[in-house]
Amino acid sequence: MQSASKFKVGLVQMAASPDAEDNLARAVSFIEQAARLGAKVICLPELFRSQYFCQREDAALFDLAEPLPGPSTETIGRVAREKNVTVIAPIFERRAAGLYHNSAAIIDTEGNVSGIYRKMHIPDDPSYYEKFYFTPGDLGFRAFDTSVGKIGTLICWDQWYPEGARLTALRGANVIFYPTAIGWHPREKEIHGAEQHEAWRTIQRSHSIANGVYVAAVNRVGHEKPADGAAGIEFWGSSFLSDPFGVVIAEASTNREEVLIGEVDPARIEEVRRNWPFLRDRRIDAYNGIDQRFLDVIEEHE
């Protein structure tokens, strides 16, 4: 069997300004740049159209949401069609009054929204008050057909869950994208910063290894300080592409906007999965219980 052709992916590591139109215009410009560099699939960071508004809970901020398809996907659809690229565009989705999602639109080479992923795992931690804004996704874990084969996308907090990566890979994705908005609390950075960044990098590389897929983590950069004088979040960039054995083959800086280009080689997936045939030996007869919160109660009744 001949493997499919190699192709390039573009990871847009960008900062967000307070101006949504400016963010969209710059995203378009980065997509054009990635396309010039040969990328066929281009991914923007989570919620790229705005600063990371979840640092506080404010119902007025639902004004930032938009329908899907909507203005952002329309603008990005034009550049996708013009450049003949697939774009993963993370959108704050307004589905109905009082019903909002942290979503990603798959925009195909015709410029249409050909798929939607809605963030399944929603965090809620100091300065990341996402449970206030985002209804948990109801579309499950998916893979999407593109001109270069199947890809999947998950979003940020999903990256800590092996189940999400596994299900996306079982759907046939060869690359899993993780548009992200993660950073350091300035007061924690010196003591915990290095280990937080390393844990984030490690868990995503592990999804490459467990599933024999490429993983593309696409983070924002910039220190975003809320108006209330709080210390804010220093987004750590460090976008990277890991190969199907977890080797990081492209990696961006911690603090600069950049378009990171990496190559996906289906023959490498074939090679790794032949030599490390983890999918062959899964004990699918014995994973019951994984859909339980904790297995303490079952123990007690045994």
Name the residues annotated as catalytic: 46, 119, 156
Q: Which of residues 157-176 bind its own copies (CB under 8 A)?
A: 157, 160-164, 166-167, 170-172
Answer yes or no whether residue 273 interacts with its own copies by CB under 8 A. no
Choose which of 245, 256, 260, 263 interacts with its own copies (CB under 8 A).
245
Answer yes or no whether residue 275 interacts with its own copies by CB under 8 A. yes
Are 219 and 237 in contact, with CB atoms under 8 Å apart?
yes
Answer yes or no whether residue 290 interacts with its own copies by CB under 8 A. yes
Answer yes or no whether residue 206 interacts with its own copies by CB under 8 A. yes
Answer yes or no whether residue 301 interacts with its own copies by CB under 8 A. no
Answer yes or no whether residue 190 interacts with its own copies by CB under 8 A. no
Quote the least distance from Cβ 170 to its own copies, whole Å. Answer: 4
H/E stretch holding 22 reads helix 20-36
What 3 state SS string does 68-121 have? CCCHHHHHHHHHHHHHCCEEEEEEEEEEECCEEEEEEEEECCCCCEEEEEECCC
- Residue 121 class from Cβ within 10 Å (0-12 exposed, 13-18 middle, 19+ buried)? middle
**Closer CB to its own copies, residue 25 or residue 279?**
279
CA separation for the pair 15, 166 (Å, rounded): 30
Quote the least distance from Cβ 232 to its own copies, whole Å. Answer: 18
Six token digits for residue 170:
């079982």
Q: Which of residues 207-236 bind its own copies (CB under 8 A)?
A: 209-210
Helix (H, G, I), strand (E, B) or coil at 4: coil
The CA distances from residue 291 to 153, 261, 294, 295, in Å, are: 22, 37, 9, 10
Answer yes or no whether residue 278 interacts with its own copies by CB under 8 A. yes
Answer yes or no whether residue 74 interacts with its own copies by CB under 8 A. no
Answer yes or no whether residue 294 interacts with its own copies by CB under 8 A. yes
The CA distances from residue 254 to 15, 18, 46, 185, 223, in Å, are: 11, 21, 16, 14, 11
Binding site residues, its own copies, CB under 8 A = 120-123, 125, 136, 140-141, 157, 160-164, 166-167, 170-172, 195, 198-199, 202-203, 205-206, 209-210, 245-247, 275-279, 281-296, 299
